[in-house]
Amino acid sequence: MKYTGRIAIVTVCLVLSVIVRLYGIFYYNYPPLGFPYVGITITFIFYWLGKQYDMVKFLSEKDTLTKLYNRRYVIQTFPKLIASIDKKAGKLSLFLIDVDNFKVINDTYGHETGDRVLQRISSLLALPTDKSTIVARWAGDEFLLVAPFTDQEGADIIIQRIHKELRKSSEELRIDISVSIGTSEYPGDAQTFNDLLNIADQNMYKLKFLKK
- Cβ-contact 80, 132 below 8 angstroms: no
Q: Do 150 and 92 meet the contact criterion of CB atoms below 8 Å apart?
A: yes
Break the chain into its structural domains and give their ranges.
4-61, 71-211
Question: Which letter does DSSP use for residue 160 in this model?
Answer: H
Phi, psi of 144, deg, nearest 5: -125, 135
Please name the fold of domain 71-211: Alpha-Beta Plaits (3.30.70)
| pTM of the full structure | 0.75
Q: What are residue 148's DSSP bridge partners?
A: 92
Q: How confident is the model at residue 86 (pLDDT cuts 50, 70, 90)?
A: very high
CA atoms within 13 A on the CB side of 97: 25
Q: What is the pLDDT of residue 34?
A: 57
Return d(Cα 104, Cα 198) in angstroms, integer: 26
**How many helices (H) and strands (E) would you count in the chain?**
7, 4
Strands 142-148 and 179-186: unpaired
Residue 141 annotated as catalytic? yes
Per-residue pLDDT for 187 more than 70? yes
Mean pLDDT (the chain) is 84
Task: Name the catalytic one among 107, 130, 141, 201.
Answer: 141
Angle at which helices 111-126 and 152-173 pack, to 10 degrees?
Answer: 140
Q: How far apart are CA 212 and CA 192, in angstroms?
A: 31
pLDDT surpasses 90 at 180? yes
